Structure 1
Amino acid sequence: MNLSIAIAQMQVTPGDPAANITKMEQFIQAAAKRGADLVVFPEDAICGPLAGQNAFVAEAPGYLAHMQKLAVTYGVDLVPGTWTVGDGIALYNQAHYISADGTLAGIYRKINLWETEKVIIAPGASVSVFPTRFGLVGMVVCWDIAFPPIFTAMNQLGVELVVSPTFWSVPLHAPGTPDALAARQEDIDLIDSLCTARAFENDIVFVYCNAAGTLNLPGSVVTLSGCSQITHPVDKVICRSDGNHEDLLVAEVFHQRSAAAPTVPV
């Protein structure tokens, strides 16, 4: 596996798909100019989290079609974050991997839901590993990173690269207070350890793309953790955003899985 990966750590505007899609294209264009083969966006990048997860379900097919056009226009593979899709009476938080020719290579429905999602979103039922021009790719979303069995299942299918669109925020505290700063540092420490561990223990390249900035909620402001990064089983941290500001990271990645897959205890 040898490719250039771009991570778009983007601030998402809740409930404004048009503004978010415009910004996403700007990131894609900039990444393509820097030679990126694959561009990855945060969870909920188009609609925003919370209410935005179910307010635009009818528009989901249009989002996919538009992102497929952008992949073709800029000649890049694309993981455009996630958005909510309907399937019968159930709603799912779904990620998509779009190839540079516009074809849909794979989808993944988030299995491990955060508390706010469980009210309206159903959990996915299976892991997702699929072929791409770079090798076998899998996807997880945000809180999934904390659950090793998902990675074990993908590993057994030969996955080489795992992509995680994420919207990871700090627990609610008054911005700038000691409690808020301590909470953010605790989250950063957890994110960094999980990203490094998942790559190392599974012999994979792991791409973690978090959102940037803040999220205004009624009566409070939530701060995003940032710290988007690419981790590697040998090289550890290939690149990492140093904060929660908007950022575009582009890095060359090379990895060849060992001939013997890691053994899984029974």
Structure 2
Amino acid sequence: MKFRIAAVQFRINRNSIEKNLKKMEGFLKNASGKADVIVFPECFLTGGLSMEECLKNADSKGRLRKAFQNLALKYNIDIVAGSIIEEKNQEFFNACYYVESSGKLLGRYKKINLWLSERGKLSPGSQACVFNTKFGRAGLALCWDLMFPELFLKMRKKGVEIVYCPSLWFSGKKFPAHKRHNQNAAYEYVNSLCKARALENNFILVYANAVGKVNLSDGSQDECIGRTQIIAPIRMVLGKLGDKEEMLIEEIDTEILKEAEKAYGLGLNFKDKN
């Protein structure tokens, strides 16, 4: 199946959820009629805030989810709404939604593999999220999940064809190990992991990262590295951005997955191990 995906490399406004919502709508307006699915980065509404401020602004009544549903309907486009901090029964989760162009919520994923600053403040999810869309079987992951192949293997076993991975990956140039050994480590991690997860599981990966400053748990700041990209087996990098705010639009054809399976027979190897 052929369809078009827009991956937004979003520069987060550090002071206002409402300004970020307004910017989101600008990208939706631009993508409407040009793409079938649009993907935003992790925490793209609140990523400029400290974790404590994010928790204070947690969505406990579904206001932001309803806003995403209304926007999907208004602009007739499926939305992977990055992620928001969601509160339920006094627990906080980093949650990602997939909203169909009809406004229907098709997928909701709670981040399983939490980053350092999220641990102890957010609760991890426990379930891989795979669901049917008009464009095939889709799955959701978030940022640091990329480091853990077992999540993606679970999605493969559920028949996933395309995985959407919103991210808030920053440079880490202030980390002592990065300073000592390789200040470009973050870029190499992202590029390597995106390819590895897509190729080892034979699915298409859409990775949407932010750009601009983010606040760290120690009160300092860092820069998100961008490198938004779409990876497909055999064809490899369908499109990739640098470190500027912009939107990547690419046509996807899921038939490449059948061709890759025929060429490499990954499914046979997985069956042998089960």
Q: Same fold (TM over 0.5)?
A: yes
**Does the residue aligned with 2:8 lie in a helix, a strand or coil?**
strand
Please name the residue that 2:168 is paired with.
Answer: 167
Q: Superposed, which structure 2 residues align to 1:74-93 within 5 Å? A: 74-93=75-94
Q: CA deviation at 1:53?
A: 2.9
Q: Superposed, which structure 2 residues align to 1:103-142 within 5 Å? A: 103-142=104-143
Q: CA deviation at 1:198?
A: 1.1
CA contact (8 A) 1:14 1:52 kept: no
Cα separation, 1, equivalents of 2:269 and 2:52 = 42
**Does the residue aligned with 1:21 lie in a helix, a strand or coil?**
helix
CA contact (8 A) 2:60 2:87 kept: no
Tell me which amino acid in the other structure corresponds to 2:254.
Answer: H
Q: Which moved more, 1:127-136 or 1:255-264?
A: 255-264
Cα separation, 1, equivalents of 2:153 and 2:82 = 23
> CA separation of 1:117/1:96 partners in 2, compared to 1, >3 Å: closer, same or farther?
same
**Does the residue aligned with 2:199 lie in a helix, a strand or coil?**
helix
Pair 1:68 & 2:69 matched: yes
- Tell me the alpha carbon deviations over residues 82-134 of structure 1, each in whole angstroms, 9 at most, x when there is no partner: 01112223111000000000000011000000010012100001100000011
CA contact (8 A) 1:168 1:210 kept: yes
Please name the residue that 1:157 is paired with.
Answer: 158
- Tell me the alpha carbon deviations over residues 33-87 of structure 1, each in whole angstroms, 9 at most, x when there is no partner: 5x11000000001122523431212455111111111111111000111011122
Please name the residue that 1:208 is paired with.
Answer: 207
Indicate the RMSD between aligned Cα atoms, in angstroms.
Answer: 2.2
> CA separation of 1:25/1:95 partners in 2, compared to 1, >3 Å: closer, same or farther?
same
**Does the residue aligned with 1:263 lie in a helix, a strand or coil?**
helix
CA contact (8 A) 1:53 1:93 kept: no
Cα separation, 1, equivalents of 2:16 and 2:95 = 18
Q: Superposed, which structure 2 residues align to 1:16-31 within 5 Å? A: 16-31=16-31
Please name the residue that 1:199 is paired with.
Answer: 198
Tell me which amino acid in the other structure corresponds to 1:78.
Answer: I
CA contact (8 A) 1:60 1:84 kept: no
**Does the residue aligned with 2:159 lie in a helix, a strand or coil?**
coil
- Tell me the alpha carbon deviations over residues 169-215 of structure 1, each in whole angstroms, 9 at most, x when there is no partner: 111539xxx949942x2111111111111111111110000011222
Please name the residue that 1:263 is paired with.
Answer: 269
**Unaligned segments of structure 1, at least 5 residues:** none
**Does the residue aligned with 1:213 lie in a helix, a strand or coil?**
strand
CA contact (8 A) 1:172 1:180 kept: no
CA contact (8 A) 2:143 2:168 kept: yes
Cα separation, 1, equivalents of 2:29 and 2:61 = 23
CA contact (8 A) 2:59 2:85 kept: no
Cα separation, 1, equivalents of 2:138 and 2:59 = 28
TM-score scaled to structure 1, two decimals? 0.91
Cα separation, 1, equivalents of 2:77 and 2:268 = 31
Q: Superposed, which structure 2 residues align to 1:4-15 within 5 Å? A: 4-15=4-15
Q: Which moved more, 1:50-59 or 1:95-104?
A: 50-59
Tell me which amino acid in the other structure corresponds to 1:112.
Answer: N
Please name the residue that 1:253 is paired with.
Answer: 252
Please name the residue that 2:233 is paired with.
Answer: 233
Cα separation, 1, equivalents of 2:191 and 2:268 = 22
Tell me which amino acid in the other structure corresponds to 2:121.
Answer: I
Q: CA deviation at 1:13?
A: 2.2
Cα separation, 1, equivalents of 2:268 and 2:18 = 44
Cα separation, 1, equivalents of 2:13 and 2:212 = 10
TM-score scaled to structure 2, two decimals? 0.88
Cα separation, 2, equivalents of 1:46 and 1:262 = 42
CA contact (8 A) 2:60 2:88 kept: no
Tell me which amino acid in the other structure corresponds to 2:232.
Answer: H
Tell me which amino acid in the other structure corresponds to 1:163.
Answer: Y
CA contact (8 A) 2:171 2:187 kept: no
